[in-house]
Chains A and B, each alone.
Chain A
Amino acid sequence: MKTSLAALGMMMAGLAAASPRTPARDAEVLAELPQGLRHAEPSRALAADRIDVAVPLARAYVARARATGDLRFLGYAEAALEPWMRSSAPPPAVLVLHAGILQSRHAFEASLAELDRALAARPEDAQAWLTRATVLRVLGRYEAALASCRHLEGNAEPGVARLCEQGILGLTGHLREAYLAILQIPAEALGAEVAAWRCSELGEMAERLGDDTAAEGHFRSGLALAPRDFYTRLAYADLLLRHGRAAETLTLLEDYQTMEPMLLRIALAHRQLRDAAGGRAEALLAGAFEVEERRGDAVHRREEARFLLDVRNDSRGALQAAAANWQVQREPDDALILARAARAAGQPDAAKPMQDFLRMNGFQDARLPAPGDAS
């Protein structure tokens, strides 16, 4: 209630900014279309008729959304699947892809429901089990996530099942053992992408163990294997920022100025450098969060909390966003921002449910302030 009124005021302020113009020259370029993106009608018609067009098309769109951070591609993927989703028994491949889209939108429960439908029809679908494990892990339902990982044994690329399992054990009281176990998985036997995943998992575990030097090494090897790995790049940027290495952060993210999570790190790096160049990133982020709020999306609430805390110095707003985010997702970064926001707002109690959850699971993270630690 309180926030919605405040948000309404902000929205109005943002809306007033529009000032339409008539370009002077016909040749002025208004938009550069992403490669291959054209009038949607022909491909839509084809995808509605043929599943062997719809599924690869949707898959390519999803991959593109992941690689570029361009959320519109998720919508295009959804549109390609839509005619097939309307059937009473959608093909499992369609369900699994659609569940992945829902996951990206943080509609986790709906995603799980579709994965269960897919698995009922195709019990050995490795991709469905892996997506399911990922969703459950984000939700903090570790027992169920582990069970999903076990279904990958003998079903997926070698190493994937162990990586999946050890990743969860690392969150539930076995951090050092899990780290060592993943180190034991021979990287040579893995495909490039799974190898990059292994590196980012190792890097994050090393950070939680308090060994940032080792973490940096893992992130660097991960990026060498898969330079476009969005996730590893973000994690590495956060590590650099924690050490005040702002200039290196900017170099790392130079080519990624279109994604909100990346923009946030760029803005933070400029803050650390105390230069004015971050103003553009800050304005873009503020505009993007404002529109998301209007839409009722909350996909970037974690980033928004960090933006409010570290850019806007609004610890109460940050705490509200971080607490709402914790209701939706429970990854280490979600715990970290909630802990920091609660401390900054002088409301340590707000972080207590989170701390209880982490304690119950035996979670360990060297970056987390100890409960009751004064700032």
Chain B
Amino acid sequence: MKARDPGLVALMLLAAGMLLAGGSARAHTASNGFLTVHVDGAEIRGSVELAVRDVELAIGVDADGDGKVTWGELRAAQARLDRYVGDHLTLAARGRDCPLTLEPMRVNDRVDGSYAWLPFTARCAVEPAALTIRYGLMQGIDPSHRGLLALEAGGKTQTGVLAPDSSPLELSLTAPSAWRAATEYFRAGVWHIWSGIDHLLFLLSLLLPAVLIRRGGRWEPVPHARPALNNIVKVVTAFTVAHSITLTLAALDVVRLPTRLTESVIAASIIVAALNNIFPWVTESRARIAFAFGLLHGFGFASVLADMGLPRDARLVSLVSFNLGIEAGQLAVVMMVMPLVYGLRSAALYRRTLMPWGSAAIAALAFVWLVQRALLPVG
């Protein structure tokens, strides 16, 4: 709006006589109508709102022509307004109109002025699976008018924008937005675990020795799959339970920790887990390490979720989906890597070289992260 349009400078004089007319101190916004629709089976309840000023333009209600619209003048025009709304707003299901019954209007005060608020009911012949909304209010009068829709069905709220000249809007009621949110957050969870390699490195550091047993200060391969599987399940479960707890607490705003702290401790946790493979001091209950540090990793996941935000009407579904996505992503990696590690367990190369040196490399990398996260300025 600030861009000067010199081409129109000269035209301002034309308007000089009209300046500062209607001196009410309201914020000027573009013209909006508000449509709320609540679908309950074949019954629909809702309301439609038009600015009083827009009602004047559409049907002319200022009976005494004094430039002011009173409640009495507006109320006297109810029948004409009903007809106007009836002609310009239709709800339909399966190609058949759901006839509107408008009820006595009221007034709603919004930031940009008073609105005529018309409650309505509508009845569809069948319970709609999808609702078609045709919105033509202010058509031909103000093409920049928009109808802002909030549609509630089956406990889910959808929103939409209706333009007077656009084609009808069709909203599906049976595939609620919660499903969309669920898939979206599930995908985000998977993506986060795969792209943020630090969580995986921590888990893998704990899993590398899962195919081995510590005996007499030396690593020996497990005789068969069962103990290895046992180890894996314990570590993965402990990690999952722990980070799910803190992820939930943080996402619901119950607990909050500074990002720098959690990110640094996550890096430190990788160092601890990796070094434990080279200088083992916890050999039997690595699940405890997984649990203890898993709590911190949960805060790390939560910061990603905080960036995305949780949709208000699908908080729980989104949170659970995100967490499931993380678990799925993590499980996929475990299932790819562990059979390979299991196959290698008897090779001296694995026990003497791959595991210790791989762990050392992981620890070194995590040390770099730790320095970056703890000491370097943010950004």
Contacts and interface: CB of A to CB of B under 8 A. Distances in A.
B144 interface: yes
B68 A33 contact: yes
A158 interface: no
Contacts, number: 284
A164 B6 contact: yes
A78 B144 contact: yes
A12 interface: yes
B38 to A, nearest CB: 13
Contact of A8 (B20, B159, B377): B159
Contact of A82 (B52, B69, B140): B140
Interface residues of B, number: 87
Chain A's interface: helix, strand, loop or mixed, by majority? helix
A257 B27 CA distance: 7
A150 to B, nearest CB: 15
Chain B's interface: helix, strand, loop or mixed, by majority? mixed
B159 A346 contact: no
Interface magnitude class on chain A:
35 or more
A351 B263 CA distance: 26
A33 B69 contact: yes
Contacts of B213: none
B152 to A, nearest CB: 11
Nearest to B150: A15
A79 B312 contact: no
A292 B161 CA distance: 11
Contacts of B184: 1
A296 B161 contact: yes
Interface string B65-102: 10111111011000000000000000000000000000
Interface of A: 1-2, 5-6, 8-9, 11-13, 15, 18-23, 25-41, 44, 59-60, 62-64, 66-72, 74-76, 78-79, 82, 96, 100, 103-105, 127-128, 130-131, 134, 138, 160, 163-164, 191, 193-194, 196-197, 200, 226, 228-229, 231, 234, 255, 257-261, 263, 283-285, 287-288, 291-292, 294-297, 299-300, 302, 329, 331, 333, 345-348
Listed from nearest, the 4 A-B pairs whose CB atoms lie closest are: A39-B60, A26-B72, A35-B21, A346-B379
Interface of B: 1-16, 18-32, 34, 36, 47, 49, 51-53, 56-60, 62, 65, 67-72, 74-75, 106-114, 117, 119, 140-146, 148, 150, 157, 159, 161, 184, 307-313, 377-379
